[in-house]
Structure 1
Amino acid sequence: MTTPAKPAMRPARPEFSSGPCAKRPGWSPQNLTNAVLGRSHRSKLGKARLKETIDRTREVLGVPDDFLIGIVPGSDTGAVEMAMWSMLGPRPVQLLAFESFGKDWVTDVTKQLKIEAEVLDAPYGALPDLAKVRPDADLVFTWNGTTSGVRVPNADFISADREGVVICDATSAAFAQDLDWAKLDVVTFSWQKALGGEAAHGVLILSPRAVARLESHTPAWPMPKLFRMTKGGKVTLDLFEGATINTPSMLAVEDAVDALKWAASIGGLTEMKRRADANLGVLEAWAQKTGWVAFLAEDPAIRSNTSVCLKVIDPAVASLSGDAQADFAKKLAAVLEKEGVALDIGGYRDAPPGLRIWCGATVETADLDALTPWLDWAFATVSSELAAA
């Protein structure tokens, strides 16, 4: 196989990582000059900036007025674990596991909290049987599988008359997909995903039903300080008004404010979804005419518009051993990174071998247009090396 010439066009921004993700277009450190630095986060100014972040989040996402929004430690993982450790126990528990992080929540619930839970699982690229979700049980699930490129198409599988609480890890769905607030009691995400923000902080959103669970249930296990959201049997409301459990990075907070301002300025959630859909559309159109690649999520109805996962289906590669296929995918990502046209697009370590390309709203569609010829070039290059070996 002859290696083709390198494409003439290059993505202006090669950051296609699935977390931390690309900064918003036009971002500069100069946007953060108003950060409350060298001051306590509990100062009047610090609390005001944290509250502004919460208010702007509510505005852009359309969070109902009676839901609480808090900034918590530990990124999305910390937010999910705060909810599980604080709320699970009084009812049966079901978990949906169709990618790496959903499987992590299974481990936390069954191995750490030692709750006998029903696990509804599916292989990478598919969803579990959602018809098996029970209204009498608590539910923990990822809306969008960051490591599998699969999302639930909607929340129709969740009963409006449910008795349990629904804990939704929405870290790769928020700001890119419609979340059905009436069906969700806990929603979590991190700034480092669709906002292109900085890491280490999570956002925890609680419905009135979630608050009621917190105030009526006392966990049977010791609760670390970082997970405590109640005092004297009542939710600590200060946590959802700008106070935080531990010290946040006010630079990261300012960066989140900047991203939220940008989101509002372009048209809010509607435009962010449109941009993500357009980005996915570029890869769909390219894959349709490309013989060597396919989506891990074969069904378009459940295909993510943010964490897009691709697999190599070329017969010469598909016939290789699992380790050799993984090595081929790693080489694809490596040659693209060496050229400076795509950074950090290797598939997740626990996922099937392939590529993972972030398509959230902070990525420009023109950059994905410029990337696709480079993907073909990388495949031809690595395939030539394979044939010559």
Structure 2
Amino acid sequence: MSRERKAPREVESDEALPRSFWALLGAGVGLGAASAVAASSSALAAYFARRIVTPERVRTEDQEVLAVQGAGPERRVILKATQETVVDGEYSFFFDGGAGHARLGRLEDYVPGEGTVTRSVIAEYSGDLGRAVRGRWSGVVYSSPGDLGYDFEEVLVETELGPAPAWLVPAQNAPTTTWAIMVHGRGATRQESLRGLIPARQLGLTSLVVSYRNDGDAPATPDGRYALGMTEWRDVEAAIGYALDHGATDIVLFGWSMGGAISLAAADLSSMRQYIRALVLDAPVVDWVDVLAHQAQKNRIPRGVGRFGQFLLAHPWGRRITGMAAPVDFRAMDWVARAVELRTPTLILHSVDDEFVPFGPSALLAGRNPEMVTLETFRKARHTKEWNVDPERWEGTVEAWLSETLAPRPAPGAGRQSQPAQ
């Protein structure tokens, strides 16, 4: 089959620097002071831009363990109350530099006066939670498909950079020839995608839980930088090819956060896009400019500095600072502006309380293309944690929507009643 790829649109090379940056030199201060402010702002913008595209190899363990009590079904952990730990639902707690992993149950007690929360310990996959002092909160719940009781196989998907590991989870009940490909988000691993296996298995879909360039599992690019979806989609295309070579006739892409941007890019650019029947996107990035502006504001970075950071990512000149092999074409990945161009049926599950990828662009995309996009709105859940807050609703929504979307299409003219001759 043909594997030719459509080239991304080029960024114009004559794009001007943001006016707010040059305005520093005319803000009524001395040239020396203005130069110092400009230099400081440039350094901050450069740091902001590099951080966006540089994979994080060490994750901060910023959640404090106060006590671990009991054993077996009665085991409980008492944690310091934070914006994350006070939200109800099931989560994971990684500790000991990621070597330890425990699954925690729903919120059992919250004492605002003492600043503590108590949760049950459902499972301890690795490490000794009783010795943990600090850890990292995560929406990841399972460590492998085996934790769900599913048979699976470690396979390698041949990408243009080399073999990328994936979990192949075969369908069990009434298998179909539709496969699901699970695409995790920025800074995450394949574990993030395991939640999607539950409705996929219910529908008889074989699943391929993939890795992609620079995620720590798949081969890295020479620059070692994320391209925010602009190149990662090629690894998803390789996964589609693997599925087709092993019996699939069509594909559903599941994507979380940046995995949503990657899935949208695959549906737009891949030479195999005709095989993609549907997209299921959890808290997807559909407009990177909006996300970066939100992140700048959240981190108290001045608006002009944040815009200059975007410029560094989007302009060929900025590669010397960001270390990227190629600039990012933000317009090509702006699916709010390109809403009518999306022709693949898409389900978006997104929380209005998402603190990392704002909900607004998802709502705009759905509003501008209701024919193709269905939006399921959640509340209280933080970024990519819609399943954690309400797994039954998340799974039920995905299963019902895919059942309808993947239903066999009637043949032309089917169902029409012939009229008696007059």
User: TM-score band, normalised by the shorter chain?
Assistant: under 0.3
Q: Which has the larger radius of gyration?
A: 2
More strand by share: 2
- TM-score between the two structures when normalised by the length of structure 2: 0.26
